[in-house]
């Protein structure tokens, strides 16, 4: 399991107050907190470090100079958060990476098991912008994460090959034809996404890209057929040629080295990092998109889902997913299992051991792990507290009304 430690970076001051400062990155990792508390900042750092580890493993990146590191922060749009006393450490599946002015900038191989190359996707909150313009591909000046997401969106749309795709919202169907996006439902047909509701404009790009990449990694069983850029395809073949030309290798050694080379360019897990999946969605629609994300995350045991959210409903629906997993393991009746599946589909059920939720405090710049009770996330969290505050204010209004009438 990978983990990250952050101090004095942007809104993050002391960082995590537990576990020696380390934030665990589990199969399902959720960040909650107020605006400006650092949720997206940490999510971007996780995305960046997972990419750096992948690039180090592939041999096309080094971290020997400060600019090697700061350029990646610039691409993520968070370089200005860097300070002289910033300390960021990442303990990955294969590499330990450290970045600070005091300790330097370096990477070294860590002790661990076989490294599984990830396909990484950062889904920015600005994604609905891509649904509001006719030609989103190739727009200059887009932030790095949004530009990368736009490219994957085009691939996902073209990958449909004109087929209609059912969305996880009611009976709505999505179609991509003539370079345009359309929605159809029970009482409307061929509605342009350009004029659809903001909820669809936010959900469609998220769902398309997640589905495309999750399925692509899931079915890409043959490394030789992995989709590569021309640069990486040439590099891979050059490495294979050098193995073939090495006369000192036995057939077994040659095959082992070739397999290792192929594995460097072949994604075996999907890391999906999503900002605000609930964006512009009704509560029940939030449930549908969350459970869809969990289903894609569960396609492979090594997939990971990192989510930032402001919605208390997302935590509530994740709690249902966890409880359904626990109940499912105890059921003895097929009839009861059918009732359970009608509430939470089996592929959306989540093992509590695979979940961690962190609360961000914008006032102190600190992060705490949300407690759980037998795996169930505590309802005493920042999001629920906001709802409780509303009830208290309402009670105060009633008191004022009673005093006025008395």
| Residue pLDDT, tens place only, 343-380 | 999 999 999 999 999 999 999 999 999 988 888 887 77
Q: Residues 92-109: pLDDT tens digits?
A: 999 999 998 888 888 888
Q: Provide mean pLDDT across the span 276-303.
A: 95
Q: Provide mean pLDDT across the span 326-344.
A: 89
Report the length, in residues, of the chain: 406
H helix intervals, 101-219: 144-159, 198-219
Is it the case that residue 138 has pLDDT exceeding 70?
no
Is it the case that residue 226 has pLDDT exceeding 60?
no
Q: What domains sit in the chain, N to C, each tagged with a CATH number?
A: 2-117+270-405 (3.40.50.300), 127-263 (no CATH)
How high is the pLDDT of residue 59?
Answer: 80
DSSP string, 265-276: TS--EEEEEEE-
Strand partners, 32: 309, 359
pTM: 0.87
Q: Of all residues in the chain, what percent carry a pLDDT higher than 90?
A: 55
Cα gap 46→4, rounded to integer Å: 7
Query: Do the Cβ atoms of 9 and 44 come closer than 8 Å?
Result: no
Buried b (16+ CB within 10 A) or exposed e, 150-159: bebbbebbee
């Amino acid at each position: 399991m990978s983990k990250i430690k952050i101090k004095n970076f942007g809104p993050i001051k002391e960082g995590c107050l537990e576990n020696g400062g380390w934030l665990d990155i589990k199969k399902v990792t959720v960040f909650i907190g107020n605006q400006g508390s650092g949720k997206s900042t940490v999510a971007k750092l996780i995305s960046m470090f997972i990419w750096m580890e992948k690039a180090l493993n592939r041999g096309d990146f080094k971290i020997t100079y400060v600019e090697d590191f700061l350029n990646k922060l610039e691409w993520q749009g968070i370089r200005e958060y860097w300070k002289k006393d910033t300390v960021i450490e990442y303990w990955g599946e294969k590499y330990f990476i450290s970045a600070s002015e005091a300790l330097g900038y370096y990477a070294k191989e860590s002790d661990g098991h076989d490294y599984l190359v990830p396909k990484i996707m950062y889904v920015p909150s600005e994604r609905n912008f891509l649904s509001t313009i006719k030609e989103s591909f190739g727009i200059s000046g887009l932030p790095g994460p949004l530009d990368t997401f736009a490219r994957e969106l085009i691939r996902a749309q073209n990958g449909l090959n004109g087929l209609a795709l059912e969305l996880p919202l009611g009976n709505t169907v999505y179609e991509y034809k003539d370079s345009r996006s359309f929605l159809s439902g029970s009482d409307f047909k061929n509605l342009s996404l350009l004029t659809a509701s903001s909820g669809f404009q936010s959900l469609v790009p998220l769902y398309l890209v997640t589905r495309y990449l999750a399925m692509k990694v899931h079915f890409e069983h043959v490394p030789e057929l992995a989709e590569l850029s021309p640069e990486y395809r040439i590099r891979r073949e050059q490495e294979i040629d050098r193995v073939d030309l090495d006369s000192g290798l036995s057939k077994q050694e040659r095959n082992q080295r070739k397999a290792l080379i192929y594995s460097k360019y072949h994604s075996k897990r999907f890391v999906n990092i999503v900002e605000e999946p609930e964006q512009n969605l009704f509560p029940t629609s939030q449930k549908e998109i969350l459970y869809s994300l969990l289903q894609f995350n569960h396609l492979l045991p090594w997939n990971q889902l990192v989510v930032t959210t402001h919605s208390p409903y997302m935590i509530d629906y994740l709690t249902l997913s966890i409880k359904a997993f626990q109940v499912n393991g105890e059921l003895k009746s097929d009839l009861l299992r059918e009732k359970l599946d009608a509430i939470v589909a089996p592929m959306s059920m989540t093992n509590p051991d695979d979940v961690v939720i962190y609360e961000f405090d914008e006032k102190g710049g600190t992060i705490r792990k949300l407690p759980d009770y037998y795996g169930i996330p505590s309802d005493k969290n920042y999001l629920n507290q906001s709802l409780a505050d509303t009830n208290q204010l309402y009670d105060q209004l009633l008191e004022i009304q009673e005093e006025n009438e008395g």
